[in-house]
Amino acid sequence: MRDRYEPGAFEQIWRNRWLEHDLFVTREDPTREKFYGLDFFPYPSGAGLSVGHCRNYIPTDVICRAKYMQGYNVLHPMGFDAFGLPAENEAIKRKSHPGPMIDQYAANYQRQMELIGISYDWSRSFKSSDPEYYKWTQWIFKLLYERGLAYRSNAEVNWCPKDKTALANEEVVGGLCERCGTPVEKRAIPQWFFKITDYAQRLIDDLDDVDWPEGIKNQQRNWIGRSEGVEFTMRVVFDSELEVGHPDDLVVVADQSDPRFKVFTTRIDTIFGMTFCVLAPEHPLVATIKKRVDNDRVAEIEAYQAKAKTLSEMDRQADNREKTGVNTGAYAVNPANGKRVPIFIADYVMMGYGTGAIMAVPAHDQRDFDFAVKFGLDVVPIYRPDESFLKANDTDEGTYLSDPKAFPEVFTTKDGTLVNSGEYSGMSFEEGSAKMTEWIVALGIGEQKVNYKLRDWLISRQRYWGCPIPVVYDKDGNAELVSDNLLPVELPEVDNYEPSDDGSSPLSRIPEFLNVTTQDGMLGRRETDTLGGFACSSWYFLRFADPHNESQPWNQEKADYWMPVDCYVGGAEHAVMHLLYARFWTKVLFDAGLVKVKEPFQRLMNQGQVLGQTPYRQPKDDEVLGVGEEGILLSFEEAAQLPEDEVTWRWVRMSKSKGNVVTPDEAVANYGADALRIYELFVAPFEQSVNWNNEGMQGASRFLSRVFRLASEIAPKWNDAWKLSIEHEPADGKSKEIRRATHQFIRKATEDIDRFAFNTYISSAMTFVNTITDILKQVPNPTESERLALSEALESLIKCLSPAAPHSADEIWQSLEEPGFVYQLDWPKFNADLAAEDTITIAIQVNGKLRDTLQMPAGSSNEDVEAQALASDKAQSFIDGKTIRKVIVVPGKLVNIVAN
User: Binding of RNA at residue 853 (CB under 7 A)?
Assistant: yes
Q: Between 454 and 471, name the residue whose CB sits nearer to RNA.
A: 454
User: Binding of RNA at residue 890 (CB under 7 A)?
Assistant: yes
When binding is defined by CB under 7 A, the residue of 134, 191, 851, 865 that contacts RNA is 851
CB 395 within 8 A of CB 404: no
Stretch that binds RNA, among 76-84, 250-258, 356-364, 525-533 (CB under 7 A): 356-364
Number of Cβ within a 10 Å radius of residue 433: 23
Q: What is the dihedral of CA 88, 90, 95, 97, to 10 degrees?
A: -40
CB 122 within 8 A of CB 116: no
Q: Could you give the CA distance from residue 807 to residue 817 in angstroms, rounded to a whole number?
A: 16
Pick out residues in 432-461 that bind RNA (CB under 7 A): 451, 453
In the complex, the smallest distance separating the C-beta of residue 349 from RNA, rounded to whole angstroms, is 4
Q: Between 266 and 783, name the residue whose CB sits nearer to RNA.
A: 266
Number of Cβ within a 10 Å radius of residue 406: 11
Reduced to 3 states, what is the DSSP secondary structure of residue 143? helix
User: Binding of RNA at residue 323 (CB under 7 A)?
Assistant: yes
In the complex, the smallest distance separating the C-beta of residue 244 from RNA, rounded to whole angstroms, is 34
User: Binding of RNA at residue 309 (CB under 7 A)?
Assistant: no
Stretch that binds RNA, among 121-129, 191-199, 667-675, 890-898 (CB under 7 A): 890-898
Q: Between 556 and 712, name the residue whose CB sits nearer to RNA.
A: 712
User: Binding of RNA at residue 648 (CB under 7 A)?
Assistant: no
Pick out residues in 120-179 that bind RNA (CB under 7 A): 173-174
In the complex, the smallest distance separating the C-beta of residue 398 from RNA, rounded to whole angstroms, is 27
Strands 604-606 and 479-481: unpaired
Q: How far apart are the first and last CA of the chain?
A: 64
User: Binding of RNA at residue 848 (CB under 7 A)?
Assistant: yes
Pick out residues in 555-574 that bind RNA (CB under 7 A): 572-573
When binding is defined by CB under 7 A, the residue of 203, 236, 345, 349 that contacts RNA is 349
Number of Cβ within a 10 Å radius of residue 137: 26
When binding is defined by CB under 7 A, the residue of 240, 691, 824, 862 that contacts RNA is 691
When binding is defined by CB under 7 A, the residue of 399, 712, 773, 876 that contacts RNA is 773
Pick out residues in 806-845 that bind RNA (CB under 7 A): 841, 843, 845
In the complex, the smallest distance separating the C-beta of residue 151 from RNA, rounded to whole angstroms, is 21
What DSSP character marks residue 563?
P
Pick out residues in 369-398 that bind RNA (CB under 7 A): 370
Reduced to 3 states, what is the DSSP secondary structure of residue 898? strand
In the complex, the smallest distance separating the C-beta of residue 705 from RNA, rounded to whole angstroms, is 6
Pick out residues in 665-684 that bind RNA (CB under 7 A): 682-684
User: Binding of RNA at residue 706 (CB under 7 A)?
Assistant: yes
Q: Between 481 and 775, name the residue whose CB sits nearer to RNA.
A: 775
User: Binding of RNA at residue 201 (CB under 7 A)?
Assistant: no
Q: Between 242 and 346, name the residue whose CB sits nearer to RNA.
A: 346
What is the enclosing helix (H) or strand (E) of 713?
Answer: helix 694-714
In the complex, the smallest distance separating the C-beta of residue 95 from RNA, rounded to whole angstroms, is 33
Give start and end residues of each alpha helix (H) in 756-890.
Answer: 758-778, 784-801, 806-815, 832-835, 862-871, 873-879
For 233-284, the DSSP string reads EEEEEEGGGBPTT-TT-S-B---TT--EEEEEES-GGGGGG--EEEE-TT-T
Distances from the Cα of 105 to the Cαs of 99, 186, 492, 494, 744, in angstroms?
10, 34, 21, 20, 44
When binding is defined by CB under 7 A, the residue of 17, 321, 829, 882 that contacts RNA is 321
Stretch that binds RNA, among 220-228, 381-389, 462-470, 782-790 (CB under 7 A): 220-228
Pick out residues in 707-746 that bind RNA (CB under 7 A): 709
Contacting residues for 232 by C-beta, under 8 A, at least 6 apart:
262, 263, 265, 268, 335, 440, 445, 446, 447
In the complex, the smallest distance separating the C-beta of residue 107 from RNA, rounded to whole angstroms, is 31
CB 617 within 8 A of CB 643: no
When binding is defined by CB under 7 A, the residue of 475, 702, 723, 829 that contacts RNA is 702
Compute CA 464 distance to the chain's CA centroid, rounded to the nearest angstrom. 28
User: Binding of RNA at residue 893 (CB under 7 A)?
Assistant: yes
Pick out residues in 60-79 that bind RNA (CB under 7 A): none
Compute CA 153 distance to the chain's CA centroid, rounded to the nearest angstrom. 29
User: Binding of RNA at residue 17 (CB under 7 A)?
Assistant: no
In the complex, the smallest distance separating the C-beta of residue 80 from RNA, rounded to whole angstroms, is 25
Q: Could you give the CA distance from residue 673 to residue 113 in angstroms, rounded to a whole number?
A: 10
User: Binding of RNA at residue 759 (CB under 7 A)?
Assistant: yes
Stretch that binds RNA, among 59-67, 122-130, 363-371, 801-809 (CB under 7 A): 363-371
Contacts with RNA by CB under 7 A: the residue count is: 87
User: Binding of RNA at residue 428 (CB under 7 A)?
Assistant: no
CB 148 within 8 A of CB 195: yes
When binding is defined by CB under 7 A, the residue of 690, 804, 834, 869 that contacts RNA is 690
Q: List beta partners, residue 446.
A: 232
Residue 248 CB-density burial (10 A; 0-12 exposed, 13-18 middle, 19+ buried): exposed
CB 270 within 8 A of CB 382: yes
Q: Between 683 and 804, name the residue whose CB sits nearer to RNA.
A: 683
In the complex, the smallest distance separating the C-beta of residue 615 from RNA, rounded to whole angstroms, is 18
